[in-house]
A and B are shown apart, each in its own frame.
Chain A
Amino acid sequence: MKKWLSMISLTAMIAVLLAGCGGTKNNNGASSSASSSSAPSGSASASPSDAPAGNPVELTFWGDWGGEGQKQFETMVDAFNKSQDKIKVKYVLQQDMVTKFLTSATSGGAPDILFWDRWRTSLYAPKNVFHPIDDFMAKDGLNKSDFYDEALKELTYQNKLYGLPLTVDARALFYNKKILADAGVANPPTNWNELEQAAIKTTKWNGSKLEVSGFSLGDNGLFNMYLQQAGGTMLTDDGKTNFNNEKGKAVLAYWDRMLNTDKVYKVGFEQGLGEGTDAFATGKLAMTLSGPWMLSTYKKYGKDLDFGVVPPPAGPNGDKGSVMGGFGLVIPEGSKHQQEAWEFVKWWTANKDNALLWAKTSMNIPGYKPALEDPFFKDDPFWKPFMDTLEFAKIRPQHPGYSVMEGDALVPNLQLFQQKKQDADTTLKKAQERGDQLLQDNAQVK
């Protein structure tokens, strides 16, 4: 009998242990999708139209901006919640948002609104995880021409629109006014040739030590931008690389001249310099191509950093080019309150006052054009050049394998080229072969 007792108590212990494990697992699942737990209670009160007042629909909004960004989001969310009493939005910070969304999209814990880096759309939209918003747009009579065309294009897959742009950005030329003036450069450069001359004049070497670099050539990922300025495009219409030609060679020849003949930069010069020691902010770099996201950082330096911004220099034949990026808001297919989520998206992205409030809160350029007519943007010497740049900026090619092609085929070969390990012809040839292969391997997403 005693033996039996011990056996039973043991099994009971194990059962409790296992239940404990299982229990915590369930809890994790639930907390990871706080929305889903609140969703049933929300749906119990049926659709919002006949929902009794004082019992608002609760929406979950996922983003991966923490710190300052989180405060900016919460400012907007609070403003929305105060503006009406039918919908209540809650911002949830997800550090590893995309991975989290992957699992939640299939297991039913999807959020109602997702903060979305737009270039990923070409990979995710074909998998039917987002809800198309065309019907909402038509019903509410929103005008697509109020938004940046390129940004909408980036959120579109097979003629369906999957979200609205929240921010737009593009790189322009930042220049240090003091360094340029000291070197006798009167006006900021407007084309490749002027840029090269200005860079030569502003570069300072002390023996083998580079003290001031005239122009940053540190980011090989900007090849796309230079290629546009040289009059080329990254991909052909049928999804193959399109840089192994005269246009691509023009870019590499320009880089080679700047780096090896003019010696205005040194490979690795900026690597590891964080915000506090940023080369441009500390006057070690005269000119660099950067985006509006750096404005607030550089403005913090006040009098110590007298800088200006102009649209990126044009190429040899006068072609202008910059790459447009930015974020949008999308509504997952798994959301149980898509109509309410749309109300929130519309309130934020397609309303002049709110888009402007967002712009002033976060120092971002909203994707809604009417908001940009405000003096806050139009009369500001720092915003103006970005507005001008956005007029001709193009999004990255919408090929699901594009980022892999750029990261694994093009950039590594460009790095070898910059370090003189291979010549321009080999670089472009290898990047093309490898790039075409990667594009093909990653083309199929459906």
Chain B
Amino acid sequence: MASIGKLHRHQARTGYLFITPTLLLFLIFTIIPVVMAFYLSFTNYDVLSHMDWVGFDNYRRLWLDSLYWTTFKNVFFYAVIFVPLNILISIALAMLLNFKRSGVKLFRTMNYLPTLTSAVAAATVWIWLLHPEYGLVNGLLSYVGITGPAWLAQTDTAMFAIILVTLWQSVGANMIIYIAGLQGVPDYLYESSKLDGANAFQRFVYITWPQLRPTTFLVSTMSIIGALQLFDQAFVLTQGGPGNVTKTPVYLIYQQGFNQLQMGYASAQAFILALAILVFSFVNMRLNKSEEPIV
């Protein structure tokens, strides 16, 4: 017994030693900055000359900052449309391309390509495509007799344009995750259900979808987090305009911190955003109940 205990201790020690470098990096680059940001949110830190304790002043100001809550409303609106569409399209693409046939890999690659482009570069190209007079999108619409809107300049279409561009860029990666998920679904389930006379739709509803639950959980969590942190595309495509309809919390935090040097206030904004992300991830976890596939 004693020797087994000793062995365990030895293994534990070696194990801890092995994870030490990673954990140290995690501590230095993640935990400490988070704690510092939390502390800074109670100060008037401006990088250059101040770091005085101001108590809850930043949070009080934040509570009254209508623009901050507008940006939250914007990203929620974005998330409500973006997340379900993201899941739907990626799962559809995955099922479409989950075959072993020649050429299928080419299509997978092509669907994955947008993910590889830089968000800023792709957004710049989309600005051209979405131009009201000379853009490809409105050009195609005009062939069928529709006068397309000024996508990025109008308050009612700007957010949809951003949803479109971000979807285009994110479905590829999620498609790959779903293909991996689909290939993990055991064949015997399909075979037996076929024997029982289940049609394709029933097979999807009762086998594929439940089996993909952990995959969906992963994809939905990542897209919720990504949605609430929307920045690049909104920054490049519309600069938060028109009329603040595409301004996002991260955009505001950046502006407050680096343009106005009010790091304390920006930290408070960032903390509330982090809390919101945490809450929504939890809600999502509840909705998806179990992470385990039902076999």
Give Cα A416 to B66, complex, Å. 17
Contact B127 A404, beta carbon cutoff 8 Å: no
Contact A268 B154, beta carbon cutoff 8 Å: yes
Contact B21 A18, beta carbon cutoff 8 Å: yes
Interface: B289 (CB within 8 A) = no
Interface: B207 (CB within 8 A) = no
Indicate with 1 or 0, residue by residue over A406-446, a CB within 8 angstroms of chain B CB atoms: 01100111011001010000000000001000000110011
Residues of B within 8 A of A209 (CB): 133, 142, 147
List the 9 shortest-distance A-B pairs measured between CB atoms, nearest first: A268-B150, A268-B153, A272-B127, A415-B242, A416-B243, A412-B244, A127-B48, A127-B49, A415-B243
Q: Please give the number of chain B residues whose Cβ is less than 8 angstroms from any Cβ of chain A in the complex.
A: 43
Contact B241 A419, beta carbon cutoff 8 Å: no
Contact B260 A14, beta carbon cutoff 8 Å: no
Nearest-neighbour CB distance to chain A for B240, whole angstroms, equals 8
Contact A14 B153, beta carbon cutoff 8 Å: no
Q: With CB as the reference atom, state the residue of chain B lying closest to A211.
A: B133
Contact A421 B133, beta carbon cutoff 8 Å: no
Contact A268 B260, beta carbon cutoff 8 Å: no
Contact B21 A102, beta carbon cutoff 8 Å: no
Q: With CB as the reference atom, state the residue of chain A lying closest to B138.
A: A209
15 contacts between A and B (CB under 8 A): A14-B17, A209-B147, A266-B150, A268-B151, A269-B132, A273-B131, A408-B67, A408-B244, A408-B247, A412-B241, A415-B241, A415-B242, A419-B155, A419-B243, A445-B46
Residues of B within 8 A of A18 (CB): 21, 24
Residues of A within 8 A of B135 (CB): 272
Contact A99 B258, beta carbon cutoff 8 Å: yes
Residues of B within 8 A of A268 (CB): 131-132, 150-154
Indicate with 1 or 0, residue by residue over B66-99, a CB within 8 angstroms of chain A CB atoms: 1100000000000000000000000000000000
Contact partner of B242 among A106, A273, A419, CB < 8 A? A419
| CB contact list, A368-418 vs B, under 8 A | 400-401, 403-404, 407-408, 411-413, 415-416
Nearest-neighbour CB distance to chain A for B14, whole angstroms, equals 8
Interface: B20 (CB within 8 A) = yes
Contact A412 B48, beta carbon cutoff 8 Å: no
Give Cα A273 to B73, complex, Å. 30
Residues of B within 8 A of A421 (CB): 155, 243
Interface: B61 (CB within 8 A) = yes
Nearest-neighbour CB distance to chain A for B276, whole angstroms, equals 21
Give Cα A442 to B65, complex, Å. 12
Contact partner of B260 among A106, A277, A404, A434, CB < 8 A? A404
Nearest-neighbour CB distance to chain A for B11, whole angstroms, equals 12
A403 with B150, Cβ < 8 A, contacts A129-B48, A412-B241 known: no
Residues of B within 8 A of A271 (CB): 127, 131-132, 150, 152-153
Nearest-neighbour CB distance to chain A for B190, whole angstroms, equals 48
Give 4 new A-B contacts, CB below 8 A, not counting A106-B48, A209-B142, A274-B128. Answer: A21-B25, A124-B261, A415-B241, A441-B65
Interface: A133 (CB within 8 A) = no
Contact A123 B134, beta carbon cutoff 8 Å: no
Contact A128 B49, beta carbon cutoff 8 Å: yes
Give Cα A419 to B244, complex, Å. 13
Contact B150 A412, beta carbon cutoff 8 Å: no
Interface: B259 (CB within 8 A) = yes
Q: With CB as the reference atom, state the residue of chain A lying closest to B25.
A: A21
Contact A102 B243, beta carbon cutoff 8 Å: no
Contact A413 B243, beta carbon cutoff 8 Å: yes
Contact A416 B21, beta carbon cutoff 8 Å: no
Interface: A82 (CB within 8 A) = no
